[in-house]
Structure 1
Amino acid sequence: MSILEVNGLKKVYSTRFGGNKVEALKKVSFSVEEGEYVAIMGESGSGKTTLLNILAALDKPTGGMVKLDGWDFSRIKESAVAAFRRDNLGFVFQDFNLLDTFSLEDNIYLPLVLAGKHYAEMSQRLAPIAVQLGITEILKKYPYEVSGGQKQRAAVARALITNPRLILADEPTGALDSNATEELLRLFGEINQNGQTILMVTHSVKAASHAGRVMFIKDGEVFHQIYRGNSTDEQLYQKISDTLTALASKKFQGGEGR
């Protein structure tokens, strides 16, 4: 069953004085099945960040439609957008977006505090997540007291604690060293195997090679897709690398690969 449907999505930006228009997205259409793990790749300026912002309900498209669980984003009242985002979407950012004046625990609790949940419920929700992510012993620490990998795991916990329908990850390994990257990708795999739907924007071939499907955005369009099928991470890594090389050479004919 499709949890996310994107149909004919367009986004046009006007320059400051309205003289020129930039078409960031051109009729982008795709769907994401419940429990899928999808990576989106593309060169800078390809439109993937614009796409992510629209999927996060942080920006509005010029045309087309986005539906999450059948909810049409265009029909959500402006006053209800923040609550919709908080209740349905989990976010993991490259720079963690943690508040230094809050402990890791309080950072993780923040979306539930905003939703008016009681401490007992928040604590009950966090306990198993903290165990899975290996952060139970550092919950009382502040972001400046822990490593980048630990900060990102706290950010993942914050994304998971609302039981979101979809996790949106923006370059989640971008600020991590190789060991922390390995650990985060392993955890993402576990989280996905437990049924969580993940959509990740990344420049990292290594990160993308852990997904079940890789979509390539070029010039504002979905240009090509690769499905994992029976491929190992290493085999998918090679397929992604070959595709990026072909895209860069401008000799590639888009489509779907298995």
Structure 2
Amino acid sequence: MRLLEVKNLKKIYTTRFGGNQVQALSNVSFSVEQGEYVAIMGESGSGKTTLLNILASLDKPTSGEVFLDGKNIVTIKDSEISAFRRDNLGFVFQDFNLLDTFSIQDNIFLPLVLAQKNYQEMNSRLGPLAKRLNIEEILKKFPYEVSGGQKQRAAVARALITQPKLVLADEPTGALDSKAAMNLLKIFSAINEQGQTILMVTHSVAAASHANRVLFIKDGEIYNQIYRGSMSNDDMYQKISYTLSVLASGGEDCE
């Protein structure tokens, strides 16, 4: 079943005084199936952050359509965007975006509080999630009292507790050491195996090698894609590295 469908997406930015235009995205089209784990890669300035912002309904395209579970998010009214985002999307950011004045538990609860869920429901959702992510012992602590890896697992819990249709991850391993990054990637793979759809933007070849499909963006367009098939993570790593080197050199042959 197709969960996300992006059609002919174009984004043009105009400078403050209207003298110059920059085309960040040019006719981008792709789809993501329910339960897929997709990584998006590209050099700085390739358009991947712009694409992520549009998918997160944080920005509007100049033209084109984005359907999430059949609903065109481009046409949602500004007054309804926050509620739509909270009910349908989960976010995992590089810098965690946890509030230092809230406990880990209250940080995780925050989207449910905003959705006016009762405490009993929030608690019933948190229990199994905290156990799965191994954060039960830090729930009463504050973000400044725990490690980067623990913060990111708490951020994953916050993204998942709303039971979103799609998790959007923006460089989720960028602020982590190698051990914490690997633990997070194992968590992502595990939750994906349980049916969660994940779309991750990353510079990390190691992170992308855990995905089932990798999309490459160059100059605002989809340049190439790799399907895992029967490849191992090591095979994916080599294939991604080769594709990135071809992309950087301006070559056309990614086979």
Mark yes or no: TM-score above 0.5: yes
1 CA distance for matches of 2:251 and 2:99? 46
Deviates more, 1:69-78 or 1:190-199: 69-78
Aligned pairs (5 A) from 1:1-258: 1-253=1-253
- Report deviation, 1:252: 2.4
Q: What TM-score comes out, normalization by structure 1 length?
A: 0.98
2 CA distance for matches of 1:60 and 1:111? 23
Q: CA-to-partner distance for each residue in 1:191-246, whole Å, 9 max, x for gaps? A: 00000000000000000000000000000001000000000000000000011111
SS at match of 2:117: coil
2 CA distance for matches of 1:103 and 1:232? 39
- Report deviation, 1:247: 1.0
SS at match of 1:44: coil
Q: Which runs of 4+ in 1 moved over 6 A?
A: none
SS at match of 2:214: strand
1 CA distance for matches of 2:142 and 2:229? 41
1 CA distance for matches of 2:67 and 2:94? 25
- Report deviation, 1:16: 1.1
Q: What TM-score comes out, normalization by structure 2 length?
A: 0.99
**For residue 142 of structure 1, what is the amino acid of its counterpart?**
F
- Report deviation, 1:157: 0.1
Q: CA-to-partner distance for each residue in 1:95-141, whole Å, 9 max, x for gaps? A: 00000000000000000000000111000000000000000010000
2 CA distance for matches of 1:24 and 1:33? 25
SS at match of 2:126: helix
Q: CA-to-partner distance for each residue in 1:6-32, whole Å, 9 max, x for gaps? A: 000000000110000000000100000
The answer to whether the 8 Å contact 2:57/2:74 transfers is no
1 CA distance for matches of 2:252 and 2:104? 45
Deviates more, 1:68-77 or 1:178-187: 68-77
Deviates more, 1:152-161 or 1:243-252: 243-252
Q: Could you say what the CA RMSD is over the residues aligned between the two structures, in angstroms?
A: 0.7
Q: Identity percentage over the alignment?
A: 71
Deviates more, 1:69-78 or 1:183-192: 69-78
